[in-house]
Amino acid sequence: MSDILNHIEENHKETQRLIGLEYEQLQQLLQNAERLHHEKQALLASKKVRIIAGGGGRKPKLSIPEQIILTLVYIRHMTTFQLLGIQFGVSESTANDTFNYWFALLL
């Protein structure tokens, strides 16, 4: 779990300062975003023609809540993707890809 997500879990009152949402709003956003993500993945899987069984491949380094927090931190602070990558322990391109995926999904 990322340091920012740990900090938010331990200090609910600082959520507004870090990402621009109250803690309760964040929890509701996380639930709705995960639901949207699973719906999108199910739709993509239903259209995919598979030769090899699903379930393989590299697992993501960040959990879904961490990916959403990364997106919210970028929107709130407009930092570079390089710095976001360092903060969340991923590469600059992964931070960029993560932001673009979730930003489009949350619009």
H, E, C per residue of the chain: CCHHHHHHHHCHHHHHHHHCCCHHHHHHHHHHHHHHHHHHHHHHHHHCCCCCCCCCCCCCCCCHHHHHHHHHHHHHHCCCHHHHHHHHCCCHHHHHHHHHHHHHHHC
pTM attached to this predicted model: 0.88
Residue 58: left (phi > 0), alpha (psi -120 to 50), or beta? beta
When pLDDT is cut at 50, 70 and 90, the band that residue 1 belongs to is low
Q: What is the pLDDT of residues 28-85, one digit of tens each?
A: 999 999 999 999 999 988 888 878 777 778 889 999 999 999 999 999 999 999 999 9
